A and B are shown apart, each in its own frame.
Chain A
Amino acid sequence: MSTLLALARIRAARQGRAEPLRQVRHYHLVDEPLVLVTAAMAGEAAAPLACMVGTDRHRPVLLTVSQPRNRDQQQAFYAQLAAVVLPYIRRRENALQQLPTHTGKAARQRCADAPQLIVANRATVEHLRLVGRSLRFQGSREPGTTQAPVALLGRWLTFFTEQADYPGSCLLLPMTRQLAAHWASGQSALEDESLAALLAWIEPPSGLSGAEAALRTENPVEFPPAGPATDPTFDLVELEPRMRAHRHALAAGDHTSANRSAAKLERALDAQLRPTWNQLWSALALLRAIPPAARCARRWDDDRDQFTRHSLHLMHGGPPQPVHDHPVEAARRLAALERASHMFEDEQALDDPFVLAERRAAGAAFAGIVISREPDRQARSPKGRRVLRPRFTVRTDDPPPLTRDQDLLNPHRPRATARIHQITHEQSGTHLIIMEITSGMGTPSRPAADAVPELGERVCYTASPSQWAQPEFPSRDQTPWTHSHPVPPAPARDLDPHDADPA
């Protein structure tokens, strides 16, 4: 926890209300997200119990299972869910944008919009990951045959949950994470995983403090859990008796009373999911009220690229995501995850003065006044050409930055990167930092007008988000000897023999 985050939490606890952590919203929100609340049956992994899903706050679709252990009912449940989710996705797959050739990238297509799934918490993401894994290998894998909707749903759910691992991706958003990213509550990070408690801190009902309101949400009758796990008392008092009544009525051939008990079960599950459904929409409204960050759009472009790529992969009959990454794929994914994480952190600092302040407090950024400048300074490049390398000096009260040998950026002059050339300590405890512009300064004959800050200007520098070149990974069949067994081991007969085999 950074010092400023600790401070914000202390302030939130003292004032009885959450403290804003961000000035802008760092996650893109689409106009029509698909909101999903799920409940699973206790005791069996990924056994669905109920799901409330839809794009309209006032018209949710409720799907329930009267006997979660029954595989046919599970299958029917997922078929119904696919009938809601797949058309939502398909509408976005069909609207394509044409991108022209751009610095080294060939012309290509990108979906004009992408689907966005909103769920309550991380636990729901993990549940969907498990559901995706259990569904995506179903049905025929012969090329050319059409995919069963349930298997297709599994592949899309896997896609969304995998994308959710990338910091800054907005295709699947767990709401507690979004809220906790933008507000500091006065409770622990573990308690922040409860959507109701977190909302209570952000918007306590009038007359109550955040802590009092959060305490109220611990009553599972008024505030049922946000899923996928249900309240054990609900399981015992409502769920179990109704399921039993339904089962007995069916066994006795009494269809009237079976229908009646099924309806009762559905009403009970509706009452369990509806509060979370409403909280999710309130939370969405809270997030929408924060103005979006400038660099949100770039990350959403990346998201749309990923969506387009997966859509094409499905269209061309590509295989489902394997159970385990291949060695090369694992390395590639790790590199991509690290890159996304750096990019997201650096971009937030440029977009948001609050994040920049956090960085200054941690010594990862510094601010000061420009006291001298050499905008026309020239130097020789390694190849011997004359190049423009303007320098300027900043006097700062901040401790000297920890990041040397790195391109830095000033959020107010985002086109010119600079590096620290020299740091001198002054008697008064301040520092003089000589900066050299390393890109965006133009050429000696045509210097860029706004690259060098003016005398007396207050500047702030932090790490520049750099799209450093990804290394070239070998192809699958070029996996080196250090990463493969000399003799392939017996293929794991886990879920799918073709994909479970890592060799």
Chain B
Amino acid sequence: MTSLLSDPAATARAAVQTVLDDLAAIDRTGGRGVVVDSPPGAGKSTLVRTAARDLAKAGEPVMIIAQTNNQIAGLAAGLAAENPGLRLGRLSGEDYAAARSPLARFSNISIDTKIIGLNECAIVLATAAKWARVKDHRWRWAIVDEAYQMRSDALLLVASQFERGLFVGDPGQLDPFTTVTTERWTGLTYDPRHNAVDVLLAHQRAAVVERRLPVSWRLPASAAALVSPAFYPYTPFAAGVANGVRELHFTTAGVRSPLDDTLDLARRTGWALHQLPARHTSRTDGEVAQAAAGLAARLLARGTVERCEHHPGGRPLLPDDIAIGVVHRDQAEQIRRLLPGTNVPGAERVVVDNANRLQGRQFEVVIVVHPLSGRRDATAFHLEAGRLCVLTSRHRHACIIVARAGIPHLLDAHPATDPVHLNVPVKFPDGWQAHHSVLNHLQIHTIAAPG
């Protein structure tokens, strides 16, 4: 069902309205909350802001639980600008307090390190870690943003503060992280390493309404056609923007080089696999890093212009419209060091980060270093479907993957061997399958580059 909807905007509006109606009706139904699954770029933040405003206007004080300070800054700024009459509170640690906060410029946001100073606020925002330190305070409503990235034990620390919850998040992204490997809690409904939504549904499924947003506004149609079946096999979504509305074009001619060939292919089809010769390498593979940095630099050097629904007249691509996504922090550091050496002005401002940190962000063009490139084995970490999903669903125009050849063979040599446990629901899709779907799709988008 990844074909274009006849009226995506109406479909999306109807989905949001359903959620708002669910929230309004919850007292009648005796429910405990609503879970909203959102594919990449489906207007999750807009939903959070709308729901918060509606609840606050109905006289219900709302707590908003986010996972990082950056998420809060984004949410609070949006809420404050849209609703000048609404009193907002930002509960923060000393590091982010008053003067240094990016929110200090809003007159309707109060910032305090103690909840007592925010008593007048209709909506109070804080990270899960900060909420965990609040004592003896109860709210009728909580909105949990990025709920699939919140760990069950973090929810345990804050859940007694609210009676009903709206949990919003993207189930296809990375699961919360822990270094502790033990089978001690495997199979328990409250395994503290699960995400907040899984633990909630395991205990309160009957009292919770499950909804999802059906339209991705970020992904172009070319991307939705792959990302939806590969990572959301049972909950398909469609792209909200029709073919032909978004376009990239280069203002300078290319040279005959593999890098430019790759860029041309990505410009035309939305996907490209820049494939280097097969080789086993350490994870900081110099040639792959050089290629990723080179692609970003060429994009800038060729004066790329993007045209889309927001800029029908076109606008030049800026360095921070481009991201290079990697798996490990040392890979990011390596590419950051290479960017200034490309001698393209602005190249050093291209965003380079690992999947965990790119989560929730959006760019025009994303260059991905494939998690399995140059590896001799395929570990569960590198196979994780969420990691590949994050990397391949951040872009509005095109996604370019850089990899060594031979990954399909590597996948076939390492079938998933994770044990199956009793009482542990099987997660779909599994990473092995998702990797194969993506590679299969990229086969016809491959440019072979010499090493």
Contacts and interface: CB of A to CB of B under 8 A. Distances in A.
A482 B164 CA distance: 10
A482 B159 contact: yes
B153 A334 contact: yes
A341 B179 contact: yes
Contacts of A482: 155-156, 159, 165, 196, 199-200, 203-204
A165 B153 CA distance: 19
B140 interface: no
Nearest to A405: B95
A483 B207 contact: no
A165 B182 contact: yes
A396 to B, nearest CB: 14
Given A331-B153, A334-B192, A363-B333, A481 B159 contact: yes
A486 B207 contact: yes
A402 B133 contact: no
A324 B187 CA distance: 10
A395 to B, nearest CB: 17
A326 B94 CA distance: 34
Given A327-B190, A485-B203, A480 B156 contact: yes
A486 B204 contact: yes
Interface string B199-222: 110011011000000000000000
B180 A337 contact: yes
Interface in A187-235: none
A479 to B, nearest CB: 8
B226 to A, nearest CB: 32
Contact of A325 (B132, B185, B189): B185
A324 B182 CA distance: 13
B190 A481 contact: no
A402 B182 contact: no
B157 A471 contact: yes
Contacts of A484: 203
A467 to B, nearest CB: 17
A361 to B, nearest CB: 10
Contacts of B32: 481
A165 B181 CA distance: 10
Contact of B188 (A324, A399, A402, A473): A324
B160 interface: yes
A313 B295 CA distance: 63
A501 to B, nearest CB: 12
Contact of B160 (A362, A400, A478): A478
Interface in A413-472: 425, 471-472
Contact of A402 (B152, B191, B329): B329
Contacts of A473: 156-157
A331 B182 CA distance: 13
B412 interface: no
A330 B192 contact: yes
A3 B159 contact: no
A480 B159 contact: yes
B199 A483 contact: yes
A502 B192 CA distance: 14
B333 A480 contact: no
B97 interface: yes
Contact of A502 (B94, B97, B188): B188
B152 A483 contact: yes
A486 B178 CA distance: 28
B180 A362 contact: no
B133 A362 contact: no
B287 interface: no
B156 A474 contact: yes
Contacts of A474: 156-157, 160
A478 B129 CA distance: 19
A472 B132 CA distance: 8
A331 B179 contact: no
Nearest to B32: A481
Contacts of A324: 185, 188
A302 interface: no
Contact of A334 (B97, B155, B180, B200): B180
Contacts of B330: 362-363, 402
B427 interface: no
A471 B206 CA distance: 30
Contacts of A376: none
Interface in B132-179: 132-133, 135, 152-153, 155-157, 159-160, 165, 178-179
A141 B408 CA distance: 58
Contacts of B44: none
Given A330-B191, A338-B178, 12 more contacts: A327-B190, A330-B185, A330-B188, A330-B190, A333-B184, A335-B153, A363-B330, A363-B333, A400-B333, A472-B157, A481-B32, A485-B189
- The 3 A-B pairs at the shortest CB distance, nearest first, are namely A480-B159, A331-B153, A327-B190
9 contacts: A325-B185, A327-B192, A328-B156, A334-B153, A334-B178, A402-B329, A474-B157, A480-B160, A485-B203
Interface of A: 3, 165, 324-325, 327-328, 330-331, 333-335, 337-338, 341, 362-363, 382, 399-400, 402, 425, 471-474, 478-486, 502
